[in-house]
Amino acid sequence: MKIAVFAGDGIGPEVTEQAVRVLQHLPLPLSLLVGDVGGYAYQRHGHPLPEETLACAAEADAILFGAVGDPRYDQLDRHLRPEQAVLGLRKALGLFANLRPAKMFGGMESASALKPAIAGAIDLLIVRELNGDIYFGKKGTERTASGLRRGYDVMSYDESEVRRIAIIGFEAARKRQGRLCSIDKANVLETSQLWRDVVIETGQDYPDVTLSHLYVDNAAMQLVRDPGQFDVIVTGNLFGDILSDQASMCVGSIGLLASASLGERATEHGTFGLYEPIHGSAPDIAGMGIANPLAAILSAADLLRHSLRQAAAADQVERAVAATLRDGVLGRDLGGDASTSQIGDAVLERL
Ligand code: NAI
Ligand code: MG
């Protein structure tokens, strides 16, 4: 079982190190391949996603990804910016379905930005489309006729892109509580009207799933008013990006939310995928040893489940994380003082 480890920038290597320790602790025949991404890769190879890294990804059964982004490179041309590594991998590998579960861990209700009674009910899954939308449309800057600078990014989806992510959403809802909420901005955006039409059409094959729709602005409000109402959310790339950071604070910290990015490619061991925390490289705390590695560790659990068919091992890792939190081993993001490596130690002990 080959896992490509792309740790990246900032806190990426710090949190990934702990996730790798967890994987290596398991009695599984894993071999790790290491590749450079992001600003680190730009520094060494002149590109955030070098050919060597893509080759490494092609050889692996799954990718464990840290984070990319480095303020030193913010002024580079967009195609050379560190963030292009993760966008490029998602696109090049056809990873169109991003699964972002947000569930309240027992004992963590008081860490939520919401009232404990409201936060306690959170158990939702955000299914975010990852290969289209405004992130991948035509973009540019130009001068208007009167000489003003103008920037533009085109938002677009075709129906096949919407249908395949809608199917992921319906299938996920079917395995959970049978409720799917599609989030769009159909009152204003043509892309969203098509999105809504296609989701409704797709739903005809899922009479057992209750489908609802929300405009994204209302959804943002509902997510803090009553997050317990959501089972599975399906939404586009941009809205899903924003709503999942918001969901993270509802469960207590962005350092707790993992994600799986899946496509259609099957390997000998399962579905090929890329696994990463939803957070970025957090330059404000990089190098301080205080980043919460649990999102990275939970991403490794997702990797075991989806790409290696090791559901029992994935459950064990998740239980060790839940126990770590229940026992009060908390990083600064959750009001504690445990360091990144101390949290990793605590998970290993419980494992
Ligand atoms: P961020 O997610 O890196 O950080 C947001 C805030 O959350 C910061 O205050 C940070 O300290 C805190 N935080 C994040 N992860 C944490 C953890 N594990 N433990 C404790 N606190 C944590 O988002 P930001 O600051 O907007 O972006 C920083 C860089 O990361 C940018 O270059 C951005 O483009 C990039 N980025 C990369 C992503 C990726 O690699 N998939 C995703 C999001 C942002
Ligand atoms: Mg994001």
In this prediction, residue 110 carries a pLDDT of 87
- Candidate from 244, 279, 292, 294 with most ligand 1 atoms within 8 A of CB, to mutate: 279
Written as one letter, the residue type at 287 is G
Tell me: do 113 and 159 sit in the same domain: yes
Q: How far apart (Å, rounded) are the C-alpha atoms in residues 311 and 301?
A: 8
Highest mean pLDDT of the ranges 75-79, 103-107, 307-311: 307-311
pLDDT at 249 over 90: no
pLDDT at 248 over 90: no
pLDDT band at 25 (very low <50, low <70, confident <90, very high): very high
Tell me: do 145 and 128 sit in the same domain: yes
In this prediction, residue 318 carries a pLDDT of 97
Give the tokens for residue 265: 């490619």
CA distances from 99 to 2, 211, 252, 299 (A): 22, 18, 19, 11
Tell me: do 209 and 272 sit in the same domain: no
Pairing mode of beta strands 139-143, 149-153: antiparallel
Catalytic residue among 74, 153, 197, 217: 217
13-16-18-21 Cα dihedral, nearest 10 degrees: -110
| Contact between 128 and 161 (Cβ < 8 Å) | no
Tell me: do 235 and 289 sit in the same domain: no
Q: How far is residue 36 CA from its own chain's centroid?
A: 19
Quick check: CB of 343 below 6 Å from ligand 1? no
Last residue of a domain, one of 199, 219, 251: 251
In tens, the pLDDT along 160-202 reads 999 999 999 999 999 999 999 999 999 999 999 999 999 999 9
Domain that holds residue 279: 1-100+256-351
Q: How far apart (Å, rounded) are the C-alpha atoms in residues 259 and 130?
A: 12
Tell me: do 196 and 268 sit in the same domain: no
Mind spelling out the 3-state secondary structure of 100-112? EEEECCCCCHHHC
Tell me: do 47 and 1 sit in the same domain: yes
Tell me: do 181 and 208 sit in the same domain: yes
Indicate yes or no: pTM above 0.90.
yes
**Nearest ligand 1 atom to alpha carbon 38:** 40
302 included as an active-site residue: no
Last residue of a domain, one of 217, 251, 285: 251
In tens, the pLDDT along 279-307 reads 999 999 999 999 999 999 999 999 999 99
First to last CA, the chain: 21
Tell me: do 347 and 304 sit in the same domain: yes
Tell me: do 235 and 349 sit in the same domain: no
What's the count of helices (H) and strands (E) in the chain, helices before strands?
A: 12, 12
Q: Supply the CATH number for residue 151's domain.
A: 3.40.718.10
Last residue of a domain, one of 251, 268, 297: 251
Total domains, the chain: 2
In tens, the pLDDT along 53-71 reads 999 999 999 999 999 999 9
Quick check: CB of 292 below 6 Å from ligand 1? yes
In this prediction, residue 59 carries a pLDDT of 95
Quick check: CB of 39 below 6 Å from ligand 1? no
Tell me: do 169 and 235 sit in the same domain: yes
Whole-complex ipTM = 0.98
Q: In what order do the strands lie in the sheet with 232-235?
A: 31-34, 2-8, 62-67, 270-277, 258-267, 97-103, 123-129, 232-235, 179-184, 210-215
185 included as an active-site residue: yes
